[in-house]
Amino acid sequence: MMKMRVVGGLALLVAGAALPAAAQDASIGFDVGLNSNYNWRGLSLANKPVIQPDVWLSAYGLTGGVWASIEPSKYDGSNDLSETGGVRSGIAEIDYWVEYARSFANVNAKVGWVAYTYNKDNAGISNASNTSELYAQASLSNLPVTPTLAIWYDIDKVKGAYIQGQLVYGMKVAPTFTLNLGVLAGLSAGQEFSPSDPSANFAKSGLTHIDLSAGTSLSAGPLSIAPSFHFQISHDLATKVNGADPANFQKDSKIWFGVTLSWSHGLGASKSE
């Protein structure tokens, strides 16, 4: 199966912008996603439950972290898709990332780098697929709908860019409850298969998928709890694969859902230059 990966957006606006110095808080944090499957850029990398923890440290506008995808059991059924290929359980993938974020006026922007590494013992996606990407992202705040534009460029294995546009509307259901409704579209620009370069994330250039989502964020003491539900309309042949059985190679849609638990702790103010 063709492989793909992702993290950030479009923020070239940051370069050359004169921004005022400000004191920023250093902090550490931990997130863990409990998801019905591993859906990445519309691709089903695992079509059974996964555990995806992330630990990070942030200071001076810089944030670095380590993220992993864990398959809690051996997925070796006839229809199972998994990065391990069904030969083992445990950590299938570890990603290392660092990014720089700034906000000015009503623009929130970030640029970063992410390395994707896979367990050498995987029979599905092994360390032969290790690669890295540069990414940038920009979003506009203080609007009825929050638009975000992001781009990732693979600099090692796949090459080419993946572009993603998203709109999110926060619907106030109750004074203390907001339902976030989102629509996302993905686009391949050079990450598709070609006879001269078999490394690819998608079958063709152009639209990959559309994702319709609903989610919210709740607080429970020091924890943030963010459930979400996704309905995907698949367009590229690679994103239409929902399972290993031939009957699931050409599905026009898929559903996935999950919840992310988050915790963070401030380490005190760090003075910027």
Mean of the pLDDT values across residues 104-117? 96
Q: Where are the domains of the chain?
A: 12-270
pLDDT beyond 50 at 19: no
List b or e across 46-75, with b for residues whose CB sees 16 or more CB atoms inside 10 angstroms: bbbbbebbbebebbebebebebbbbbeeeb
Quote the tokens at residue 207: 């639209």
pLDDT beyond 50 at 252: yes
Quote the tokens at residue 82: 């998994």
Quick one: three-class SS letters along 16-60? CCCCCCCCEEEEEEEEEEEECCEEECCEEEECCCEEEEEEEEEEC
User: What pLDDT, on a 0 to 100 scale, did the predictor assign at position 273?
Assistant: 43
User: What pLDDT, on a 0 to 100 scale, did the predictor assign at position 24?
Assistant: 59
Cβ(182)–Cβ(168) under 8 Å?
Answer: yes
Mean of the pLDDT values across residues 200-205? 95
Mean of the pLDDT values across residues 9-38? 64
187 by DSSP, 3-state: which? strand
User: What pLDDT, on a 0 to 100 scale, did the predictor assign at position 7?
Assistant: 35
pLDDT band at 270 (very low <50, low <70, confident <90, very high): very low
User: What pLDDT, on a 0 to 100 scale, did the predictor assign at position 5?
Assistant: 38
User: What pLDDT, on a 0 to 100 scale, did the predictor assign at position 101?
Assistant: 97
- pTM, to two decimals: 0.88
Neighbour tally for 26: CB within 10 Å: 15
Mean of the pLDDT values across residues 208-231? 96
Condensed to tens digits (0 to 9), the pLDDT of residues 166-195 reads 999 999 999 889 999 999 999 999 999 877
User: What pLDDT, on a 0 to 100 scale, did the predictor assign at position 194?
Assistant: 79
Neighbour tally for 190: CB within 10 Å: 17
pLDDT band at 198 (very low <50, low <70, confident <90, very high): confident
User: What pLDDT, on a 0 to 100 scale, did the predictor assign at position 269?
Assistant: 58
Mean of the pLDDT values across residues 127-140? 97
CATH class, range 12-270:
mainly beta
Question: What is the residue whose two structure tokens read 């367990």?
Answer: 119
Condensed to tens digits (0 to 9), the pLDDT of residues 44-82 reads 999 999 999 999 999 999 999 999 999 999 999 999 999
Task: Report CA torsion sign: 59, 96, 152, 170.
Answer: negative
Please choose, from the candidates 64, 41, 36, the residue with its C-alpha nearest in 3D space to the C-alpha of residue 52.
36
